[in-house]
Amino acid sequence: MIHGLYDVIHRRRDVRAEFTGEPVAPEVLDRILTAAHAAPSVGLSQPWDFVLIRSEPVRKAFHEHVRTERDVFAATLSGAAAERFARIKIDGVLEAGLSIVVTYDPARGGPAVLGRHAIADAGLYSVCLAIQNLWLAATAEDLGVGWVSFYREDFLQELLGIPSGIRPVAWLCVGPVSHLEQVPDLERHGWRQRRPVTDAIHEDRWAG
């Protein structure tokens, strides 16, 4: 079912616990990847690639690594923050049957990437736009997506055989869900509140 754009933007959630484990239909996967690939990119470089991961051994190996990195972060916390973090689930790697790793190739479209000469990060921004397109398209298809960033890039490069120079940008868990929560998990668990949009808007000059 296709929802209106604003409805999709506001229904989108980062999903960890709600994956059902059912597969993603091939034609649906094709639509969400085609939506990702339609994103704008600096110099029309389209610097992204999508590694589709269904292998259970690969997902298990990644999940072990994520657990280790979770512990690394947990060790930096104390008191109430440590207690709150202990209750927060940070991934659905084992629960979702499909993961998509999105990568960035800075050499794509080079050496003269139009619009990137002064801002090297513009290539990474482009990859993030592809990810957001994927996320919104998946939401429109009633799928859930969960972004996992508790990993070291060199570990993931090695695990997936990603050539050196190409950076993994996101591990995305993707799949059917029981439901999408209305409030972000981090807010529900008291980790952090969303700030009002009025606080993010400045007139003519940075204020506050």
Ligand X SMILES: Cc1cc2nc3c(=O)[nH]c(=O)nc-3n(C[C@H](O)[C@H](O)[C@H](O)COP(=O)(O)O)c2cc1C
Report the interface residues with ligand X, using CB under 6 A: 13-14, 16, 90-91, 147-150, 184, 186
Q: How far is the CB of 112 from ligand X (least distance, A)?
A: 29
Residue 44 CB, shortest distance to ligand X, in Å, is 24
Instruction: Tell me the closest approach of the beta carbon of residue 14 to ligand X, in angstroms.
Output: 3
Residue 109 or residue 143: which is nearer to ligand X going by CB?
143
Residue 182 buriedness (CB in 10 A; 0-12 / 13-18 / 19+): exposed
Using the minimum distance from each CB to ligand X, give the nearer residue, 75 or 118. 75
> DSSP state, 41?
-
109 vs 156 by CB, closer to ligand X: 156
Looking at the DSSP bridge assignments, the partners of residue 99 are 53, 173
* Tokens at 65, concatenated: 């690594």
| Least distance (Å) between residue 196 CB and ligand X | 15
In this structure, are residues 96 and 63 in contact, taking their beta carbons and an 8 Å threshold?
no
Residue number, nearest CB to ligand X: 184
Whether the link from the prior residue into 111 is cis, omega within 30° of 0, is yes
Element containing residue 99 per DSSP (H, E): strand 98-104
Q: Rounded to the nearest 5 degrees, what angle is found at the Cα of 161, between the Cα atoms of 155 and 164?
A: 80
User: Which residue number, 35 or 148, has a Cβ lying nearer to ligand X?
Assistant: 148
Q: CB atoms < 10 A from the CB of 139, how many?
A: 23
Considering beta carbons, is residue 18 or 105 the nearer one to ligand X? 18
CB of 115 or CB of 184, closer to ligand X: 184
Q: How big is the CA angle at 27 (ends 167 and 102), to the nearest 5 degrees?
A: 5
88 and 187 in contact (C-beta within 8 Å)? no
> Tokens in use for 123?
């290539």
